[in-house]
Amino acid sequence: MPSPPSYLKLARTGKLQKISKKLQLLLKECSLCPRLCKVDRLSNKKGICRTGALARVANYNAHYGEETPLVGSGGSGAIFFNGCNLGCVFCQNYDISHNSGGVEVSAGQLASIMVSLQKQGCHNINFVTPSHVVPQIVAALPFAIEKGLSIPLIYNTSGYDSLQTLQLLDGIFDIYMPDFKFWSGKNSQLYCNAKDYPKRAREALIEMHRQVGDLQINANGVAEKGLLVRHLVMPGVVDETGEIAGFIAQKLSKNTYVNIMEQYHPCFKASEFPAINRVLGKTEYDIALSSAKKKGLIRLDRKDMDTLLRSLGLI
């Protein structure tokens, strides 16, 4: 019998509501993420993330394109938020993250979305790009719990997160799924306008692992709690994979579940940057994967064929 998600205990003890109030205060002069825009989002002012007092939802569905332990048989209940605090020039979801579309939702409406995904049979609620809407998510949780929400919550992030905010989230999210994009501040500045990204990502991953530990998968092959790290291999910067893998193995755990991703292709503004205006070569990916193994990582994700075909709508 799986343990109930820890956010249910926080709600029963009243701690969830206290955390929600603290997060709301961060919106007054927004300091949710490392950008520190300091705009009054409670008055609907908008900074880099282009999001005011309410979260904007682009779409939500039972998603089968995630890692196998998240998908199971019922899919991952993905909620895609508009806006982003990082803004990669090669973003593959730029139509969502770089525009001001989507539908603004109240706490009650967001709660209803969560519960509807649970009723569809999803194994978890997967918040995609949540860093800039953490207060809105947490404010919706009491309403969702009242409606019966009881499945794990996933924090699916770029890795550009504030340590202060993550510490407030201790006990709320069951699964953290950060990307670790760059080891070099030079590259993160060039492609994301965030020289401090590597430092923030390292801090974030250490805190996430402290909270939830290594990924725990039940007898049905479905993840219940823990850390899952993604790393998108970029053309021309394959050497950074080894540095990132070494950090994970040494500072977190060699048993960290890591997805070394090979699906990079030029999107959005990548054509303006010659070094990344091409697909990733197979040899480059093989080198990156080999370097991760050499650094001692022993849980590297391999997407099974059924999940891949389902994500493509072929079965």
CB of 166 within 8 A of CB of 39? no
195 assigned to some structural domain: yes
25 assigned to some structural domain: no
* Residue 305 pLDDT class (50, 70, 90 cuts): very low
Instruction: Note the pLDDT of residue 310.
Output: 46
Region 166-187: what's the mean pLDDT? 98
7 assigned to some structural domain: no
- What is the per-residue pLDDT across 184-193, written as a single tens digit (0 to 9) for each? 999 999 999 9
Q: For residues 176 and 245, what is the distance between their CA atoms, to the nearest angstrom? A: 17
pLDDT at 307 exceeding the cut of 80: no
Please give the full DSSP string across 258-298, using - where no structure is assigned: EEEE------TTGGG-GGGSSPPPHHHHHHHHHHHHHTT--
CATH number at residue 154: 3.20.20.70
207 assigned to some structural domain: yes
- What is the per-residue pLDDT across 237-251, written as a single tens digit (0 to 9) for each? 999 999 999 999 999
Domain housing 82: 31-306
* Residue 303 pLDDT class (50, 70, 90 cuts): low
- What is the per-residue pLDDT across 84-130, written as a single tens digit (0 to 9) for each? 999 999 998 888 888 778 999 999 999 999 999 999 999 999 999 99
Number of domains in the chain: 1
77 assigned to some structural domain: yes
Q: For residues 46 and 30, what is the distance between their CA atoms, to the nearest angstrom? A: 9
